């Protein structure tokens, strides 16, 4: 089957100062295929996509579109060629309605003088219909990250494109939305549209894609038909070595203890969740599952007093604690890793070292409150290394890191205070397979050392593989708990959406 590729990348290189993000990369995309790209964090995937979309210009190399050499000077040019792009980092206008955001590309190229709000509304509705019930009139600033991710996808779908790039679109989505997205992708591909799909989730790649290309350290490694290989082949090509176990061993029966670290009783916040009670035991990793908007993040943030007015009781090691501000929570040893990395997880224009020190600057300061640069640097190097952080040097601004590496910085920040209880909201969002396994192993080690670990994740395999016990949340209430062999995707999905099942049968 010899087809002319719709898009061909020929020996493209790109560097950021001393960092060579892409080295003479080749890549081609056939009409109507779903082409996955895999690679570790910082392998250069997003950089290549940014070049294809005209956001960045290559230092060297050429791009062919439908066989002709093209120069993509800006996203506007890319749009005209028919390239649509769902960005890894959400890029929406917060002060503007969902509908206008979705139709922004059309507005940009529109020849008509006046806005046709009715048409915009219709088109936004059409694009959103399958994905979600988000109101087109809502302002983007009022949406949660996962909802914004859906809007970003809807936005790309309205473009009349030939090539659709999806850079980790499912990182913040739950299984349900992800499946809808895959359905849409399939249909687009059937209509002859080519899709580039970037993900760190092997299952998704193998279930939905036709071919997969692997990048490592800015170099193109190989392209294979998915049918011809196995996930571990891809991982081996990505990492350069074989990763045997994706998840660490679970808590052994003899390790199980009844000692409770964190006790939550009747936690309620008027609009968002009601009567949430659970125990977090020593040595276990507790998961929390639920659909988008079920209120999982709110519970964690409520406990840490990051937002909302929460009532209920919190006991740490048996003693009731009084937390008024997140600072108190940190002082008690309870920390929270945010799901919105860019919005509230990292300080983009500050150095990596300062980012990691942010939770407790006092730790890297003398007793007089003078920050000791070398201690700050040592801490960053130590934590960075333990998480496999990949960066030029730790005085670079965080904005110079790839998405996954920014996530590692955020995690390093949590770990810097030696917490007793950690709430992790989508902890491995955007993190590559190798690093993910590493993070899982670190979490398990921490649990063994007696740290209470509480994981919120939209990726069910991650919850099942990592956690000893999973709570399921539905519309602000705990609808059940699964452990041991009962921890299956079916059971969790069932508990997460009973209501809907009932509605459907009724």
Partner 1 sequence: MDKLAEPSAETPKPAGIAEAVKRLLGMRETGLIAIILVLFVVMSFASPYFLTWVNMRAMAMAFAVEGIVVVGMTILLISGGIDLSVGSVTALAMVIAGLLFLAGVDPWTASAVSILACTGIGAVMGFFVTRIGLHHFIVSLAVMVIARGACLLGTGGRPLGLYTLPPEFKFIGQGAIGVIPVVIVIFLVVVVAFDFMLRRTTLFRKVFYTGSNEKAAAYSGIRTKKVVFLTTTLCSALCGVAGVIYMARFGSAQPTFGIGMELNVIAAAVIGGASLKGGSGTIFGAILGAILLSVVSSSLALLDVSVYWQDIIRGSILLTAVTVDHFINKKRQQAA
Ligand X SMILES: Nc1ncnc2c1ncn2[C@@H]1O[C@H](COP(=O)(O)OP(=O)(O)OP(=O)(O)O)[C@@H](O)[C@H]1O
Positive/negative CA dihedral, 222, 225, 226, 231: negative
Closest CA to 199 of 178, 236, 231, 170: 170
Contact between residue 226 and residue 232 where contact means Cβ atoms under 8 Å apart: no
219 binds partner 1 (CB under 8 A): no
Nearest-angstrom CA–CA distance, 299 and 320: 18
Per-residue tokens: 206: 């193998």
Nearest-angstrom CA–CA distance, 133 and 293: 11
427 binds ligand X (CB under 6 A): no
Q: What SS3 class is residue 477?
A: strand
Strand-pair category, 452-456 with 285-290: parallel
505 binds partner 1 (CB under 8 A): no
Tell me which stretch binds partner 1 (CB under 8 A): 221-229, 326-334, 472-480, 482-490.
326-334
In terms of CB distance, is 364 or 433 closer to ligand X?
433
401 binds partner 1 (CB under 8 A): no
Site string for partner 1, 126-145 (x = CB under 8 A): ---------xxxx-------
70 binds partner 1 (CB under 8 A): no
> How many beta carbons lie within 10 A of that of residue 76, not counting itself?
13
Site residues (CB under 6 A) for ligand X, limited to 297-316 = 297-298
CB 206 → ligand X: shortest distance, Å? 18
Please count the residues of this chain forming the interface with partner 1, following the rule CB under 8 A. 85
* Residue in the block written with tokens 């209920």: 312
Among 34, 36, 120, 451, binds partner 1 (CB under 8 A): 120
Per-residue tokens: 79: 């749009």
Nearest-angstrom CA–CA distance, 158 and 222: 32
Site residues (CB under 6 A) for ligand X, limited to 83-102 = 88
CB 355 → partner 1: shortest distance, Å? 9
Which residues, in sequence order, are CB contacts of 107 under 8 Å at separation 6+? Answer: 100, 115, 120
Tell me which stretch binds partner 1 (CB under 8 A): 73-81, 176-184, 290-298, 454-462.
73-81
CB 55 → partner 1: shortest distance, Å? 7
Tell me which stretch binds ligand X (CB under 6 A): 94-102, 138-146, 231-239, 346-354.
138-146
HSE (side-chain half, CA atoms, 13 Å) at 177: 26
393 binds partner 1 (CB under 8 A): yes
Please count the residues of this chain forming the interface with ligand X, following the rule CB under 6 A. 36
Contact between residue 459 and residue 201 where contact means Cβ atoms under 8 Å apart: yes
Binding footprint of Mg ion on the chain (CB under 5 A) = 46, 88, 297, 339, 403
3-state SS, one letter per residue, for 275-292: EEEEEEECCCEEEEEECC
In terms of CB distance, is 18 or 318 closer to partner 1?
18
Residue nearest to ligand X (CB): 404
Site residues (CB under 6 A) for ligand X, limited to 22-61 = 39, 41-47
Residues binding ligand X (CB under 6 A): 16, 19, 21, 39, 41-47, 88, 142, 144-147, 272, 290, 292-298, 339, 400-405, 430, 432, 458
């Amino acid at each position: 089957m010899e087809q002319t590729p719709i898009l061909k990348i020929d020996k493209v290189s790109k560097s950021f100062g001393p960092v060579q993000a892409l080295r003479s990369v080749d890549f081609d995309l056939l009409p109507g295929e779903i082409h996955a790209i895999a690679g570790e964090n910082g392998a250069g995937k997003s950089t290549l996509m940014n070049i294809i979309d005209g956001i960045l210009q290559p230092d060297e190399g050429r791009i062919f579109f439908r066989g002709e050499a093209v120069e993509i000077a800006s996203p506007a040019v890319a749009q005209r060629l028919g390239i649509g792009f769902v960005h890894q980092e959400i890029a929406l206008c917060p002060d503007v309605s969902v509908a206008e955001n979705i139709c922004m590309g059309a507005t940009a190229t529109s020849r008509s003088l006046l806005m046709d709000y009715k048409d915009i509304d219709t088109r936004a509705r059409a694009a959103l219909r399958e994905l979600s019930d988000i109101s087109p009139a809502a302002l983007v600033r009022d949406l949660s990250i996962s909802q914004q991710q859906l809007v970003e996808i809807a936005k790309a779908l309205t473009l009349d494109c030939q090539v659709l790039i999806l850079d980790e679109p499912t990182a913040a989505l739950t299984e349900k939305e992800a499946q809808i997205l895959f359905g849409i992708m399939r249909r687009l591909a059937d209509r002859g549209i080519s899709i580039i799909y970037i993900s760190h989730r092997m299952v998704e790649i193998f279930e939905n894609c036709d071919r997969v290309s692997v990048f490592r350290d800015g170099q193109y490694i190989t392209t294979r038909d998915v049918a011809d290989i196995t996930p571990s082949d891809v991982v081996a090509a990505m990492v350069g070595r074989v990763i045997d176990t994706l998840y660490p061993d679970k808590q052994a029966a003899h390790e199980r203890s009844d000692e409770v670290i964190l006790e939550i009783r009747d936690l309620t916040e008027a609009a968002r969740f009601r009567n949430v009670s659970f125990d977090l035991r020593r040595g276990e990793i507790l998961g929390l599952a639920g659909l988008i908007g079920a209120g999982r993040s709110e519970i964690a943030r409520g406990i840490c007093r990051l937002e909302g007015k929460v009532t209920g009781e919190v006991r740490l090691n048996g003693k009731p604690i009084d937390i008024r501000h997140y600072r108190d929570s940190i002082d008690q040893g309870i920390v929270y890793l945010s799901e919105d990395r860019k919005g509230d997880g990292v300080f983009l224009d500050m150095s990596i070292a300062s980012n990691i020190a942010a939770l407790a600057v006092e730790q890297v300061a003398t007793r007089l409150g003078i920050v000791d640069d070398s201690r700050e640097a040592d801490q960053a190097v130590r934590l960075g290394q333990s998480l496999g952080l990949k960066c030029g040097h730790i005085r670079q601004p965080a904005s110079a890191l790839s998405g996954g590496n920014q996530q590692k910085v955020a995690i390093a920040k949590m770990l810097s205070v030696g917490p007793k209880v950690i709430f992790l909201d989508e902890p491995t969002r955007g993190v590559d397979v190798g690093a993910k396994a590493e993070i899982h192993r670190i979490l398990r080690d921490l649990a063994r050392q007696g740290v209470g670990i509480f994981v919120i994740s939209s990726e069910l395999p991650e919850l099942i593989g990592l956690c000893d016990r999973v709570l399921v949340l539905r519309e602000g209430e705990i609808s059940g708990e699964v452990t041991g062999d009962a921890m299956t995707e079916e059971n969790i999905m069932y508990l997460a959406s009973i209501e809907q099942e009932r509605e459907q049968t009724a």
